[in-house]
Structure 1
Amino acid sequence: MLTAALFLTPALCVLSIFVLYPIVSAGYISLTAWNGFDPVKEFIGFGNYVRLAQDPEFWNSLLVTVLYAAGVCVLSVVTGLTVALLLDAPLRGRGIYRGIYFLPAVTSSVAAAIVWRYMLDPSGFVNALLAQVGIDGPDWLQDRWLALGALTLLTVWKNIGFNAVLYLTAMQALPHGIYEAAQLDGASARQRLRFLTIPLLSPMTFFVVVQALITSFQAFDLVYVLTEGGPRGGTDVLGMFMYRTAFRLGDFGYGTAIAFVTLLLVLGVTLVQWRVSGSGKDSR
C-alpha cells in the first residue's frame, strides 16, 4: 500500500494542480461578479446561471453549437469511413495517400482557417471556380447558414485524417474469417460492407461521434479566425461566446459560468459514451 501511494503521489499532485484546482476555482468564479483584475470577487451565488438561462445570446450560441455539432458528427462518420475504406484497398503507394489525407490533422488550425477564409472570399478561389461554369458565387461568410456550413466543412476536413486512422485501426482488427465465409456464401462486396463491416465498426463509430461532439462544443480557434462568430451570431458557438464575454467585455464571472456549463455538457456527453459502450456496467 505504501509503495502504491509513493508511486501515485506525483501523478495525483499534477492532477490536483492542473486539473482539479482549475475546475474548482472556475466553479467558484462562476458564482461571483468579477472583472478579472479586482482583488475582491463579489459573491452573487447562482446569479450568473440565472442570467444565463434568460440570455437570448446564450440560447442562440447553444443552438448554433448543437447544429454545428450535428453536422460535424454526421460528416465525420461518413468521410472518415469512406476514406478508411479507400485507404484499406490494395493500392500502390498506399502509405503516401495515407500521409496526404492525414496532413490536415497536423496543419495549424489558424493557418487552415486563414486559407479557407481567402478561398471563400467573394473574389476568392471558390467563386472563381463557380464563375468558370457560369455561376455567380455568393458571399459565403456573410450569410448565416452558408457560414455555418463552411465552418462545419472546415472542421470535418481538418479532422478527416484522424477519423480515417481510427477507422483503419478498427478495420485491421476485424476477424477475416467471417469475410471469407461470407464471400464463399456468395455475399457481394456491397453486402459485406453493409452487413459485416459497418455493424462490426459500430463501437468505433460511436467513439468518432462522441469525439466529434466534444470537439464541436470546445471549438474556438477555427471559429475565431474564419468568422469571429458572425454574421449576426450565425457561427457564435459557445467557445466564441465565452471568449467575447470574458476577455472582450471583462465579465469573467459570467464568462466562467458559460465555460462551466460547456464543461458540464461535455461531461454529460462523455458519461453517455461511458454508459452506452458498457464501460460503466459490472463486468462480472
Structure 2
Amino acid sequence: MRTKVHVPYLFLSPAIVLFAIFMVYPIVYSFLLSFQTGQGSEMTFGGLDNYRRLFGDEIFWTALKNTFVILIIQVPVMLSLSVILASFLNSVKRAKGLFRVSFFMPAVTSLVAYSIIFSIMLMSDGIINQLLMSLGLGAAPWLSHPVWAKAALILAMTWRWTGYNMVIYLAAMQNISESLYEAASLDGAGKIRQFFTVTIPQLKPVLLFTAILSTIGTLQLFDEPYTLTKGGPSDATLTIGMYLYQTGFRYYDFGYASTLAYVIVLLIAILSFIQFKVTGDE
C-alpha cells in the first residue's frame, strides 16, 4: 500500500527536480547574492549595503520614474482601447474572425523584430515623420527627445499588446448572458449605458487580471527601450529592467543587480495588492 502511495511522486520527480534546479535554486541564490558586493566572481558578504546603495542611486530613481511614467500612461490607454475594440468586435456580425486575427497579429510578432521596425519608422526621415510632414505638420524627434522617446515606447507597446488584451476581453464578453442586456434594454438603457452598467461590471475579474499582467510586464520592460532607444536620450527611457541588465551583464555587479530584481518583485507585489484592494476583490 505504501508503495502505491509513492508511485505518483515517482512520476512527478523529473518535473520537481527540473523546477527545483531552474526555478527554486536561482530564486534562492539571487536572494543570497543581493547581500553580497563585488564584481564578477570576487564577491564578499556586504549585508544590507546593496539595499542602502539604492537610496543614493540617482540612476535607479531615474529608471523607477521612467518606468512608472510609462506604466501610468500606457497601461490605461492600452486596456481602454482593448475594451473598446472587443466591444466593437462583439457586436460585428460579419468578418469577425478577420478583424480578430488582424488586431491580434501584432501580439505574435517578435519583440525585437517589431522594435526594430518601429525604430526605422520613427527615424527623423522615417515614414511616420514623412506622413506628418505631408499633412503640414512638423517632423517629431521621436528617438532623440526625452518626451518624444517615451511617447515612441508607449506607441510601440500599445500597438503590440492591445490586440492581445482585446482577445481576452472578447472571450469574456461572449460569456456575458444576453438576459442582462435585455433587462437593461427594458429599463430604457441605451448601448452606451449598457456598456458601463452591464459589460464593464461583468468584465471586472478579467480587467483586474489584465491590469496585473500589464503592470508586471511594464515593470519588467526591457526589449523595447533596449532596441528602440538604448535607454536614451540621457536615460530618459531607461527602465528598471534595462538598468538591471546593464548592472549585471555590462558591469558584472551581480549583487546589486539581484537587489534590483528583488525591488521589482516587491513593487509588483505592492501594486498587485493595491489593485486587488481598489477593485474590492478577495
Fold equivalence (TM over 0.5): yes
Corresponding residue for residue 217 of structure 2: 215
Are the counterparts in 2 of residues 76 and 212 from structure 1 also a CA contact under 8 Å? no
Q: Are residues 275 and 132 of structure 1, via their aligned partners in 2, closer, same or farther at CA, if it must alter by over 3 Å?
A: closer
Amino acid at match of 1:162: Y
Amino acid at match of 2:114: A
Corresponding residue for residue 24 of structure 2: 20
Report SS of the residue matched to 1:250. coil
Corresponding residue for residue 125 of structure 1: 127
1:30 to 2:34 alignment: yes
* Structure 1 position 14, deviation (Å): 2.8
Any idea what the Cα deviations from partners look like across 1:99-121, whole Å, max 9, x if unmatched?
A: 11111000011111111111111
Are the counterparts in 1 of residues 208 and 276 from structure 2 also a CA contact under 8 Å? no
* Structure 1 position 127, deviation (Å): 0.8
* Structure 1 position 87, deviation (Å): 1.4
Root-mean-square deviation (Å): 2.0
CA distance in 2, matches of 1:105, 1:45: 42
Q: Which runs of 5+ in 1 are unaligned?
A: none
Any idea what the Cα deviations from partners look like across 1:45-85, whole Å, max 9, x if unmatched?
A: 11111111110111111111111111122112211101101
CA distance in 1, matches of 2:214, 2:78: 7
Match of 2:80 among 75, 78, 82: 78
Report SS of the residue matched to 2:39. coil
CA distance in 1, matches of 2:84, 2:180: 21
CA distance in 1, matches of 2:93, 2:118: 30
1:237 to 2:239 alignment: yes
CA distance in 1, matches of 2:220, 2:72: 14
* Structure 1 position 161, deviation (Å): 1.4
After alignment, is 187-196 or 270-279 more displaced? 270-279
Corresponding residue for residue 137 of structure 1: 139
CA distance in 1, matches of 2:265, 2:160: 23
Structure-to-structure mapping, 1:52-63, within 5 angstroms: 52-63=54-65
CA distance in 2, matches of 1:276, 1:7: 42
Structure-to-structure mapping, 1:195-274, within 5 angstroms: 195-272=197-274
Are the counterparts in 2 of residues 76 and 208 from structure 1 also a CA contact under 8 Å? no
Q: Are residues 3 and 277 of structure 1, via their aligned partners in 2, closer, same or farther at CA, if it must alter by over 3 Å?
A: farther
CA distance in 2, matches of 1:144, 1:276: 32
Any idea what the Cα deviations from partners look like across 1:224-269, whole Å, max 9, x if unmatched?
A: 0001111111110001111111211222221221122112222333
Question: Number of paired residues?
Answer: 278
Q: Are residues 43 and 81 of structure 1, via their aligned partners in 2, closer, same or farther at CA, if it must alter by over 3 Å?
A: same
Report SS of the residue matched to 1:137. coil
Are the counterparts in 2 of residues 69 and 216 from structure 1 also a CA contact under 8 Å? yes
CA distance in 1, matches of 2:172, 2:85: 13
CA distance in 2, matches of 1:262, 1:41: 22
Report SS of the residue matched to 1:42. strand
Report SS of the residue matched to 1:212. helix
TM-score normalised by L of structure 1 = 0.91
Structure-to-structure mapping, 1:68-217, within 5 angstroms: 68-217=70-219
Amino acid at match of 1:182: A
CA distance in 1, matches of 2:56, 2:216: 25
Amino acid at match of 1:14: L
Any idea what the Cα deviations from partners look like across 1:9-42, whole Å, max 9, x if unmatched?
A: 4443333222111111111111112423x2x421
Are the counterparts in 2 of residues 217 and 239 from structure 1 also a CA contact under 8 Å? yes
Q: Which runs of 5+ in 2 are unaligned?
A: none
Are the counterparts in 1 of residues 142 and 148 from structure 2 also a CA contact under 8 Å? yes
